[in-house]
Each structure stands twice: as C-alpha cells, then as structure tokens.
Structure 1
Amino acid sequence: MSSHLSPALVRSAHVRMSGVHLSFGGRPVLAGVDLVAAAGDRVAVVGENGRGKTTLLRVLAGDLPVDLGEVHRAGSVGVADQQIPLGPTDTVGALIDLELSAVRSALTSLDKAADALTDGRPGTDDAYAAALAEAEALDAWDADRRVEVSLAALNAVDDRTRPLGALSVGQRHRVRLACLLGAGHPVLLLDEPTNHLDADGLDHLTERLRAHRGVVVLVSHDRALLTDVATTVVDLDPSSDGRPRAYGGGYTAYVQARRAERARWEALHTEQVAEQQRLADDLSAAQNRLRDNWRPAKGHGKHTRATRAPGLVRAVHRRQEELSTHAVTIPPPPTRFAMPELPEHHSATLLRATDVSVAERLARPVDVALDSRDRLVVTGPNGAGKSTLLAVLAGDLEPDTGTVTRARSVRVGRLGQESDLPGHRTAVELYDARSGVHGPALDELGLLDSYDRHRPVAELSVGARRRLDLALVLATRPHVLLLDEPTNHLSATLVDELTAALTSTPAAVVIATHDRQLLRDTESWPHLAL
C-alpha cells in the first residue's frame, strides 16, 4: 500500500527534541532527551514503566511545556494516546469528525477560496493556491474512504450514529486508530496502538506504518511490532552516564547493542568496586601502621619513630583522597520481576467448565478443564469471547448455559484488560489489604519502585497501574491464573521475565492474547481457538 502523503509534505515532516528536561513535583521524568526524526523515520520509544514514554509523546504533541531544552515539529500531528477525547454520549461519527478536523478544515478553506476566485475578488489567486496545496498535502478528498478501509481492517464499529458509551473500550480505541491511520497527518504519535487489536488488525497497522512516508514516533510493548516497524530506538532507561540513548538499525540491533552496553557497564562497575576495595584495604593498612608506629617499641628511639610518622600520615591522607575521589558508577539496578511461589493444589481437577456460553458474547459452547501446572492459550478475533470466557472461569460472570465447578478452597486470580482501582488509595495500601497472610510484601515482587508504591493510584502511569493490577492478582497466591492480554502496557523486559515465570509456576495458567511475540513464546502450550 503506497502512502497517500504528498511529496512536498513528506519532505517537510520532521520532529526534533534537543536536551529536553522535564520534572513533575521535583521528580525528573525526562532528563537530557535528544530525538531527531525526518520523513521515513519510525522511532520506537522504549523503557520501563514510569520512565516518561507517554510524557515524551505529550511533549512532542505540544501538550506539555518542557523545563529545559528545545522541541520542534513540522507538519500536522495525529496523536493516539490512551484517553479518548469525547464522552459517552458522543457518537462514532463525532469522533471521526474530530480526528479528521484538519481534513474538514482544509476542504472548507478550499471551498471558500474557490468561491472567492470564482467571484473574481482581487488577491484570491494566492489564497486559492495555498488552500489547494494544503488539501492536496492531506489528500483530503480521500480521507473518509481511508478511514472506512481502516475501520473494516481493524474490526471497528462503522455505524456513525452509535454512542461511544455503547462501545467497549477496545472498540472506541479501534475507531480512533482507524481515524488516525486515514487522516493524512505527516506526523503520527502513537501510544500503545496495538492494545485491543486482533491478528488482522495488527497486520493492517503494521502495513500502514511501514508504508507511512512521514514520521512515526511509537510507544509500544509489542515486540513483534517494534521488530517489524522501528528504524530507530530511543531508550529512556538509565545508562552509564544517566542519559537516554538512541540506537539505529531497528529493534533487533537495539536489543543486541543494549545487551552489550549493559555488559560493559556492569564489568566496569565490578572493576571499580574491586579498585575501591583495594584502596580501602590500603587505607586500613596505612592507618594500622600509623597506629603501630606511634606506640613506643622496645629497642627503638623516639627520634626514629617521630621521623617516620609524617610519612605514614601523608600515606594515610593520600589513600583517603584516592578513596574519596574514586567514585563508583553504580548502575541503577533494573527492576526485576520476582514471581511469588504459587502453591500447587492437590485436587485432581482445579476448575472445570462444561458447555459454557454467554448470549451475544460467547456464542459457541466451550469446555475447559484445568489441573495444577496446566497451560492454555485462548485465541480468536475481537468479539469471539476470550475475555468473557476468562470472566466465566473466574466466577465473575454467570454463563447462560453450561456449568463451572471449582475444587474446594481453590483460589483463582484474574487479570482483566482494564484497570478499575480506587484512585485515592496508595498501591501498598491496596496490596496489603488484598494479600493478607498469603502473599509476599509488594516490594519483593519488583513490580513497582518505592516512589510509586506510596503514591495514590490516580497519580500512577497506565503502565504502573497495570503492574499494580498484576501484583494484586498475585497477592492471594492463586492456584489458577487467568490473564487477559497480560502484556498490555508492560515493558518488553518485564514481559520476558513474566513469560519465563509463567512457564515454571505450579499454578494452572490461562492466557488470552493477540500479542504475536507472546504467542510465539507459548507456541508449545495447548491452544483453544474461539
């Protein structure tokens, strides 16, 4: 599929950040970020949750002023963030019109300029030429058709009279993404665009982004999308000098370069720690000699001891100075996920669902039986009933047909797609209330840093809330884990660690996902296609 952007617009499209710093409440979020992207560049912004990825997109969009540094943009900007800009009573058509407002404005300006030109008003030639160039740049006449194509490809609602409140969260996001893919913006800023997409939608998004001839800046946990699309990677995680890094060559090259850089950093740190220990030992030895030589020893004159003392004092001072100036560049330890030890239930069958269905949500009757250490991947297009099935298995939704039986005292934990936590309570308060005597302390899981653990939930990033949701599911040490799109909003590193932990836990594990990399990583598990 060829890009619909005009050559002139493509050449002018670019974004640039130089030395950008931004803090919230005195806490640095972005520190010395440099980013340059021109037409044809597809920049992936990566980093652990809370590193400022979404903040960086908001800065590029012009929604946030920076404390220090420069930000430049050229070309109209389309933004797909994690908040829908309209309310539940607004319609699908209103959302389409809002996202195509630049197109609508360009066509309106062209009509007015054409009327003025037809009326023979003086000085209208230049105004008409400018309006025509703007409409051509956006290929405005074809925008609605492009949106319709993407609505179909993303399995999104195309009835423009439908209220947004009648749609699921995923449906609303797919409508908005379809609008942005069709709007003709030369600069696209996309925050987790793969959430709520099925396999066909992922293929369509990948194809459109690869064909986009303008600039794409992308935040995503989807490792397969980053591998297929990214030309450059900006890593916001800490580095040896504390500054973000930019890597060329695509996502695979970034992973290799980052791993090698981390190994060099850790080796240097080990050498520095060893050198610091050597200097500390030398200082201790010099101090001991100084103390020993100030003690009068038999057979030695006071003069000899006195003349040796200044040299020893100087040696001690010299080693003290070397020790104090020999700073160790300690890498901030990356957050490592520590899966709690989940119990193995000794019942023959932990959970059994027989011929369960839910009207209009899970049409085909489904059978599932789970024992300890069982694994299952549930797949299917959006609307097939994957989330519904997990809710039925968890006991959160009663089936219209069929039965669900659970073993005595079995604990079931379900991670839903969306977070619904009270915003006024802190993460640690919620976790402690949930875990009781069952689970480890929140800090032992390695999911949230100390700063986030003690903040109200309303102040947490989407990624941090997702980590908290996962922590709350693990808090009761369930015998059965039901995970609905578990990779949503999580960093690639955490996803890899979580995947490895799920492979070895004695709990039964059911995953519903569209994540292509996760599907590859679990291809040996039994699959249930809905």
Structure 2
Amino acid sequence: MHLISVDRVGASVEGRTLFSDVSFGLSSEHRVGLVGPNGSGKTTLLRILAGERAPDEGQVVARGGMRTGMLAQDPLLPDVPALDAVLEADPTARPDEGERLLAALRVDPAQLTSQMSGGQRRRVDLARTLLPPSDLLILDEPTNHLDVDTIDWLEDELRRRTGAVVLVTHDRYVLERVTDRMLDLVPPSAHREGTVVWHEGSYSSLLQARVERAATEQRATARANNLLRKEVAWLQRGPKARSSKPKFRTEQVEVLRAAASGDEDARPLELGTGRRRLGNDVFELRGVSLRRGDVQVLDGVDLGIGPGERVGIVGPNGAGKSTLLHVLAGRLPVDGGEVKVGTTVQLGLYEQSAGAGLDGSRTVLDSVLDVATHVPLANGETLPAHRLAERFGFDGQLQRTPIGLLSGGERRRVALLHLLVAAPNVLLLDEPTNDLDLDTLAVLEDHLDGFAGTLVVASHDRFTLDRLTDRTIAVARGRLTEHLDWDGHRAAANTTASGSGPARGGPNRDNRERQAARKRVRQLETRVATLTGRRDELHDAMITAATDPDRLRALQAELDQVTTELASAEEAWLELAVDLDG
C-alpha cells in the first residue's frame, strides 16, 4: 500500500543547502535505512517525512489518515512514572503491553522520568514510540543508549512489526538485518548539490554498489592519468611545439590533473604509537573492588591486559563498563586490591562526554594543532594533522569553523582527532561509535585496524567489536567474565545467567597463544594486502616500460621477489587461519 510521495524536495539550514531535487515513494512493506555523513541532513529529512518540518522546495504527499510514529534524538517526556508516560502515547493500549516494552528496555516502570538519566529517558521514549500501531515508523538513532542484548531484542521487535519503517542508525548489523532498501544521502560538494539516492537492497549491497562506482571512477582516473602524461609531455616540448593552441592545451592539462588526482585519503593508515615503545606490562588488576553508592561495581576482580592486545568490554547498561575503563586509566581510586599500569604506557582515553569540554572559540584546525602538528605512522613517516582531519570529514572550510558552531557528532570527531594526533600507545575508548556517521566509523575502524598499541573498547556496537577486538570481557554483577569473542559471550549468557566466573590473572596459556596467533594473522593480512598492491603496481609499470629493456629487467626482478614473498605470506596466513578455525 502506497503511503507517501516525496517530489523534488529540498531543504536548507541557516542558508546552507543540505539536499535538493529529492524524489522517492514509500509503501507499507518498505524497511528503509537512511545513511549519510553527520550534518548532511538525515534528521531534517526524517522530520520532513514525519510532517514536523515543511520542505523548502518540492512537496510531500501522504496518504489520508496515515498513522506516523517518530523517535527523535531529544525526547520530551511528561514528569510522571515511566509506565504512565508510555501509556499516554496510546490510551487504548493494555498496561501489560507497556510493561513488556519497559521490561525489555530495562526501565523501572514506577520511576519518575524527571529522576532518570538521559539514556533512561531515551529508552522510555522508544517504548512510547513502539507502543501505538503505525503505518510509518520513523526512528532516529534508536540504538543509542541500548546495550547489545537490548539491540538484539529491538531487531526482533522491528522485524515482527507491520507497516513501513525508516531508520537512521550507526549500528550496521541493525541496518543489515532490519532494512531491505537504503536512502543514501550524498552531501553537497564543489561539483554537485546534495541529494538522496534510492537503493533497492540491503546496506551491504549498497556498499558493494559504492565499490563498483569507485572502480568505474578509478578506471576513469587511470585513463585521465595516461592522457595527462601525454599532455604534460607535449607542453614540455618547447616554445615551438606550444605555439599552436597553447591556451587550450594548458587548460586541458589542468582539467586532466583534476580528474587524475583520485582519492588518496581512501587508503587506510597504520597509526604509530609516538616515541615511546610499549613494554611488556600494560594493565594488571589484582583483587580489585569498587563500590558506587549501593552497587558493588567490581568485586575482587583480576584482569591482565598485555601489549598489542585488542579487548572488547561488554555488559548491560550500568554494569560498570565505563567504571572499569576509568579504573584502568587511573581516574577512579579503588576500594581494595591493586591496579598496576606499565611504566611505558602513554594513555589515550576517549570518554562518552568527549567533545563537551572543547573550547568553542577555537577553530577545528587550531584546536587539533594545539595537540600536535603531525601524526606518527607505523612505517616511521608522519602525516600532517590537517590531513588526518580531512580523513575524518573536516575539509578546508570545516577546519576553519569554530568548534562552537559544530554539531554534537562533529565535536566528538574533533575529540577523536585530539586523541589520535597525541599518538598514545594505549587507547581506551568508551562508546566511540555514539553520534558518529557510518562513513566516519569506517574511517576510524580502518585506522584502528592498523594501530600497533593496546586497544580496549567498551561498546554496544557489535560490528565494531567484531572488527577491532580479539578478546571479550563481560562486566556484570561485579564480576569479569572472559570470552574469545562476542559470540562466545552470547553463548555463555544463554547457558547460565551468572556467567562462567571472573577473568583472573589475564588470559590462560591457550588464550595467550590464540591471541598471539590472531595478532600474527592480522599482521599477515596487512602484509598480503601491501604485497598485492605492489605486485599490481609493478605489472602496470612493466606495461609502461615495455620499450625500456633495462627498466623492464629491474621491474621483473622486483616482481619476482614480491611474488615469492606474497606466496610465503599467503601460505603462513592460511596455516594460522586453519589452526584458529579448528
């Protein structure tokens, strides 16, 4: 059943055009994910669909009597008990249905909304949005402030629900499992206006389509490079050769130079760890206890984290994930036990409030340069700080923008830049994916993939945990339970409510060996990718040098060496991968 038509719609904010000439239609069977960078207009488009904001151009026509529900990012709730606030959204609903939603979202139905944290109020608002039946359900970041178990529940709830769904989320697993169509919001650039591209298919198929478009553009770039070489050679032949149509030839070179520039920032970096090499000791907790109010957050726990380890911290909201990170960082004194931090540790802590304390009068670039002018890379080279800022979505104009004018997500990106340019050798990240768009998440994960130090991540984002961590520590009831990965944690949680016991003294010998093997696998994967890229470059160079025998022989010798090293790396990778899977 057709629900709504969007015809040539455009929107602007404070004189800046977000998107224009956007057209698509929604039907009752559609499950749509809306993706795009921070500040590109996703929330604005959702509000237009919900009828809360009129478009600046074009029109939106909705079916008469259509019921619309919308979850906004900033909830406005009455000062009443949670259950009353939920039932207020649908007076015809049974109270037990409101209780079911609040129980699944882990909210006390009797607690006053005025006494709740921001995350609890957000969950109450989600229950209010899900309670009434709707023809069109619009959700703006519904997974914010939800732990991973509750996100699983939300996925099931949305799959069972009838009617159309349009959602914005940074959780890629939710996008993949709940949606079957995508709206890809492409921000404006120097060459085009912002628009929205409708894609029939899942989020992963959208990514594949982007890859195919990039491959097409790469082929066009290669052709432009060939033409550019010829044009530059023509210009360099001398005044006589340039006497005919010199202006046209010069302009042609500039056009080709722009087309051939490509996107060097698409290549991930391997971040270095500053001047100090990380020693054998990083973190060790022995019998650590900590009480916050009436809650025993940590109860005699042991934990060891070594150099180069990549650890994910999971657990329900309020279980103590942030507390554990602050204990490791030395920000919280403990009631009992011992916390040892290695003498070579240079710590970088990214908190959930990151971005809130930044000086709003400083520009993005000045703020980053206050920390460092260059970022060390793993290969010994450095990258100018402004280039790293570009990779995280801050182009020249945004780099000159005062931080006070940025959105919340953009401020968190600045805080991330502060952390990365400081080049710590140990990173503690507390919910780093909150308020970041999917493109920024991909850039961050690419960079952290190659991080040579120790990484500890507390997150509800299962994709991030799967990609970046090798070891999972679950925090619950004052105890730490260790698993090899998130799936292991879920399996244990389904087997017993109390877990398998604390993670004492760090990983056992088998776990240490498996962690070392996984680290070696990652190193080999990076090596294989590097060698493969060099092999392809040599093939291209040999084609260009076909008439130069000396150059050709040198290239062939290097190619033989690269091919041998590549075969060796692939064989070693295969052996380790088979052992780990076994």
Normalising by structure 2, we get a TM-score of: 0.69
Paired residue type of 1:155: R
How far apart are residue 327 of structure 1 and its match? 10
Whether 1:460 aligns to 2:431 is no
Task: Provide the residue aligned with 1:151 in structure 2.
Answer: 102
Task: Return the match for 2:461 from 512, 515, 521.
Answer: 515
- Equivalent residues of 2:374, 2:421 under 8 A apart: no
* Amino acid in the other structure paired with 1:356: V
**Match status 1:443 vs 2:378:** no
Alignment correspondent of 2:283 = 351
Does residue 478 of structure 1 match 2:414? no
Give the equivalent residue in structure 1 for 2:222. Answer: 270
1:42-74 superposed Cα distances (whole Å, 9 cap, x missing partner)? 111112333222232233233443332222344
Deviations 1:143-172 (A, max 9, x none): x4333212111222322x4243x3333222
Residues 1:67 and 2:56 are matched in the alignment: yes
**1:43 paired residue among 27, 32, 47:** 32
Q: Return the match for 1:162 from 112, 118, 129.
A: 112
**3-state SS, counterpart of residue 471 of structure 1:** helix
Equivalent residue in structure 2 for 1:76, among 67, 70, 73: 67
1:259 to 195, 208, 211: 211
For 1:168, give the aligned amino acid. S
Matches of 1:330 and 1:23, distance apart in 2: 32
| Cross-structure match for 1:31 | 20
Q: Which amino acid aligns with 2:112?
A: R
| Alignment partner, residue 183 of structure 1 | 132
1:98-497 equivalence runs, <5 A: 100=89, 103-104=90-91, 140-142=92-94, 144-159=95-110, 161-164=111-114, 166-237=115-186, 243-275=195-227, 278=230, 288-289=240-241, 291=243, 333=263, 336=266, 338=269, 340-343=271-274, 345-359=277-291, 360=295, 362-408=297-343, 410-419=345-354, 420-422=356-358, 424-426=360-362, 427-435=364-372, 442-445=385-388, 446-449=391-394, 450-497=396-443
Deviation at 1:41, TM superposition (A): 0.6
Deviations 1:238-260 (Å, cap 9, x if unpaired)?
Answer: 69976432211222222212211
CA contact (8 A) 1:452 1:464 kept: no
Q: Distance in 1 between matches of 2:288 and 2:8?
A: 57
* Paired letter, 1:382: N
Alpha-carbon separation, structure 1, partners of 2:81 and 2:367: 36
How big is each residue's C-alpha offset from its partner over 1:459-494, in whole Å with a ceiling of 9 and x where there is no partner?
323332221222222243222211122222333344
- Number of aligned residues: 455
**For residue 364 of structure 1, what is the amino acid of its counterpart?**
D
Pair 1:433–1:353, CA change in 2 (3 A): farther
Which of these residues, 452, 472, 476, is aligned with residue 506 of structure 1? Answer: 452
Give 1:162's aligned amino acid.
L
- The secondary structure found in structure 2 opposite 1:502 is helix
Q: How has the CA–CA distance of structure 1 residues 407 and 20 changed in structure 2, closer, same or farther, with 3 Å as cutoff?
A: same
Give the Cα separation in 2 of the matches to 1:235 and 1:213. Answer: 24
SS in 2 for 1:197: coil
Distance in 2 between residues matched to 1:437 and 1:330, nearest whole Å: 27
Q: Check 1:438–1:350 CA distance in 2 against 1; reply closer, same or farther (3 A cut).
A: farther
* 1:236 partner SS: strand
Contact 1:150 1:178 in 2 (8 A): yes
Q: Taking structure 1 as reference, are residues 438 and 522 closer, same or farther at Cα in structure 2, changes over 3 Å only?
A: closer
Task: Give the match's secondary structure for 2:345.
Answer: coil
Q: Distance in 1 between the 2:238 and 2:10 partners?
A: 45
Give the drift of 1:38: 1.1
Equivalents in 2 of 1:85, 1:395: separation in Å? 37
Q: Give a deviation string over 1:320-371, Cα, whole Å, max 9, x none.
A: 7877998966898496564642235444313322233332162433323333
State the one-letter code of the partner of 1:257. Answer: A
Tell me the C-alpha RMSD between the 2 structures.
Answer: 3.4
Q: How far apart are the structure 2 equivalents of 1:349 and 1:69?
A: 62
Q: Using the TM superposition, give the Cα deviation of residue 36 of structure 1 relative to its aligned residue in structure 2, in angstroms.
A: 1.9
Report if aligned partners of 1:20, 1:67 keep a CA contact under 8 Å in 2: yes
Cα pair distance change 1:236/1:479, threshold 3 Å? same
> Counterpart in 2 of 1:307?
none
Q: Separation in 2 of the partners of 1:320 and 1:504?
A: 41
> What CA distance in whole angstroms lies between the structure 1 residues aligned with 2:442 and 2:250?
44
Q: Which runs of 5+ in 2 are unaligned?
A: 377-382, 477-582
Q: Post-superposition shift, 1:189?
A: 1.6
- 2:129 maps to a residue whose letter is L
Asked if 1 retains the 8 angstrom alpha-carbon contact of 2:37 and 2:187, the reply is: no
C-alpha displacement at 1:318, in angstroms? Answer: 6.9
Q: Structure 1 residues 409 and 33 mapped into 2: Cα distance closer, same or farther (>3 Å)?
A: same
Query: Residues 457 and 199 (structure 1 numbering): CA distance in 2 closer, same or farther, change over 3 Å?
Result: same
- Residue-by-residue CA offset, 1:415-436 (whole Å, 9 max, x unaligned): 2234423473343344344448
Closer/same/farther in 2, CA of residues 54 and 287 from structure 1, 3 Å limit: farther
Shifted more, 458-467 versus 89-98: the winner is 89-98
1:398 and 1:317 map into 2 onto residues whose CA distance is 71
2:512 — aligned with what?
none
**2:33·2:182 contact (CA, 8 Å) conserved in 1?**
yes
CA distance in 2, matches of 1:190, 1:407: 44
Describe the shift of the 1:152–1:258 C-alpha distance in structure 2 as closer, same or farther (beyond 3 A). same
Q: Which has the higher contact order (CA 8 A, sep 6+)?
A: 1
Match of 1:110 in 2: none
Tell me the secondary structure at the aligned position of residue 244 of structure 1.
strand
Letter in structure 1 aligned against 2:386: D
Match of 1:92 in 2: 82
Q: 1: CA distance between counterparts of 2:418 and 2:74?
A: 24
CA distance in structure 1 between the partners assigned to 2:226 and 2:298 by the alignment: 64
Report the secondary structure of 2:145's partner residue: coil
